[in-house]
Amino acid sequence: MSVYDIQQIQEILPHRYPFLLVDKIIELEPKVRIVGVKQITFNEQFFQGHFPGAPVMPGVLQIEALAQVGAILALREFEDRNSKIPFFSGIDNAKFRRPVVPGDTLTLEVVALRIGSKVFKMRGEAKVDGLITAEAEIMCIVGDRK
């Protein structure tokens, strides 16, 4: 069961294919914690070049997927979220633990560390089968779309 399906996610996030990296939100505790899922398929565009014959999801895209899930947690706090856009403002303590390959289900858990009026700091863990694949502290600034 989903808290948000892909259509609802697209109502919150400005990202679109091929850069939308979250398929559904399965858990949500407003202002505290959010869990999303990305199904990793062989059809992902990045697998064409990373790496032919040995496809691996780039670690930086795992961090981006965590940031997108975190952006959902942040943007849902704004009633006028359609006029807002989240900008990455920092990544700290990023670590990449194991490869993510086609067929994996990437679980993306993000916990709020600090929520301000426009600046958010969160900690994210990407996992496959309960094992951490990537982790980082991520920060974003929510600005106005122009």
Active-site annotation, residues: 50
- Tokens 């990373």 sit on residue: 50
| HSE toward the beta carbon, residue 60, CA cutoff 13 A | 5
Torsion over CA: 137, 30, 83, 36 (sign) = positive
**What's CA 48's distance to the chain center, in Å?**
21
Six token digits for residue 45: 């565009």
Residues pairing with 87 in the sheet: 141
Torsion over CA: 92, 98, 100, 103 (sign) = negative
Six token digits for residue 104: 């994996």
